[in-house]
Every structure is written in C-alpha cells, then in structure tokens.
Amino acid sequence: MARIFVVEDDAALRGELMRLLELQGHEALASTAFDRIADEVLAADPDCVLLDLKLPGDGGHAVCRDLRSASDVPIVMLTSSDNEFDEVMSMNLGADDYVTKPYNPAVLLARIQSVLRRAARTEPPSRIEHKGVVLDVARSRVEYEGRRVELTRNEFRVLHLLMENKGAIISRQELMMELWQSDAFIDDNTLTVNVNRLRKSLASIGVPDGFLATRRGQGYLV
C-alpha cells in the first residue's frame, strides 16, 4: 500500500486521519512542527500528501508551492473553507485534488486512491486484455472472440478502471468518483444502471456472465 504524509496542525484530526489510513493498510506519517515541513515531507519520500490549507505561518498554499517546485508527489488539499478562490489557488499551485471538511471518510479514501492511480500511470496501453476480453482504449470499444461492440463513455470508464485493476475489487465509491469526478450526491442507482448497461454490452458479444462480478457490500471486479 501507499506511504502517505499527513500535514495537519489539529492534533485530533491528524490522529483520526492517520488511523483511517492505517486501517486501509497504508503507512501514515506526520509531523508536529511546520516551520520546515516541506523539507520534512520531501525527505520522507511519500506516495501522497494530505495537506491542510490553514496551517500556521505561511499556510498550506506556500507548502504546496514548495512541494510542487521540487516533486511530483500527489497532493490532496484538506480545508474547512468552501471558498472557490482557495480551491482555484490550490489547483494552480499544483494540488491534485481538494477536499472540504467535514469530509466523508469513504470519499476521502476514494480521492486518495484516484490520485495514486493517476500518479502510477505511465504511457497508457492502447489495448488491455483479460480473460480473452480486449478493451480497445483508443476506440472505446470491447472485443471478444472476433466480435466487438462500441461502448458509451460511462461504460468505457467503468470497464477501463476495472480492467486496469483486474483481479482487484473496486468499490462503488471509487467507480462513482471515476465517472463523475465529484463528491456531490449521486444516486447510487445511477451507478447500478451504468454497470447493468455495460453487462448487456458485454453479453451482446458473448462475454460470459461471470466476467464482471459483483462482490456484495464491496464493489466490482473482473
């Protein structure tokens, strides 16, 4: 799992974040001093940084700028501010995502997984194959035993994420974040509709029913 550095001056919240990360199998690091925090983070060489916007001194924006000037490490900004200027400033300084407090733990974990996946990607493959099913990334279509079908945008995104992580369970929350890139309320049934449409598309070219499997209470996998 990932090494994640938590930069948060609220001791209670910092401890809560670290416990949440450790329960997911991540290695959680933190500091209680913030005068040279960017240097400390860089020395730890983390896979991701959770960075509070309202830090003592120059604040999270300055830390974000210093980190980004020296590293491509994924940065997720955390803040109690819903000011659009703060969000725009954070993204312009190089933050990869922006989560407002109080946050839903599942949403935060999904955001972290999303930035970790993006950071891990190099040149994306043009075709992904699994169990005889071939996803043509460039053409947004899927092939099986000489038959093919064009996918809608959402069908493609669901199958692409699952096939990139073949053999691993992808939670419904992660899939919704991949589809809609938002922690705004999305009716849970909307994802079910998209998954069912994908299953019908796969069945139309003869892909076996069990290829896209449901793990009740956990998510989906191929």
DSSP 183: -
Which pLDDT belongs to residue 80?
Answer: 79
Which pLDDT belongs to residue 133?
Answer: 95
pLDDT digits (tens, 9 = 90+) for 24-72: 999 999 998 888 899 999 999 899 999 998 888 778 888 999 998 888 8
DSSP state letters, 5-59: EEE-S-HHHHHHHHHHHHHTT-EEEE-S--TTHHHHHHHH--SEEEEESS-STTH
Which pLDDT belongs to residue 125?
Answer: 65
pLDDT digits (tens, 9 = 90+) for 82-133: 667 777 777 888 888 988 888 889 989 998 998 888 887 655 567 899 999 9
Residue 186 pLDDT > 60:
no
- State the pTM of this model: 0.57
Residue 10 pLDDT > 50:
yes
Which pLDDT belongs to residue 187?
Answer: 61
Question: For residue 40, what are the contacts with CB-CB under 8 A and spacing of at least 6?
Answer: 31, 33
Give percent of the chain with pLDDT exceeding 90.
50
Topology of domain 127-221 in CATH is Arc Repressor Mutant, subunit A (1.10.10)
- Residue 185 pLDDT grade (very low, low, confident, very high; cuts 50, 70, 90): very low
Give the mean pLDDT of 158-165: 92
The residue ranges of every structural domain in the chain are: 3-120, 127-221
Superfamily of domain 3-120: Response regulator (3.40.50.2300)
Residue 183 pLDDT > 50:
no
**Would you tell me how many other CB atoms lie within 10 Å of the CB of residue 74?**
24
Least confident of 48-52, 155-159, 175-179: 175-179
Q: Which neighbouring-strand residues pair with 148? A: 143
First to last CA, the chain: 21
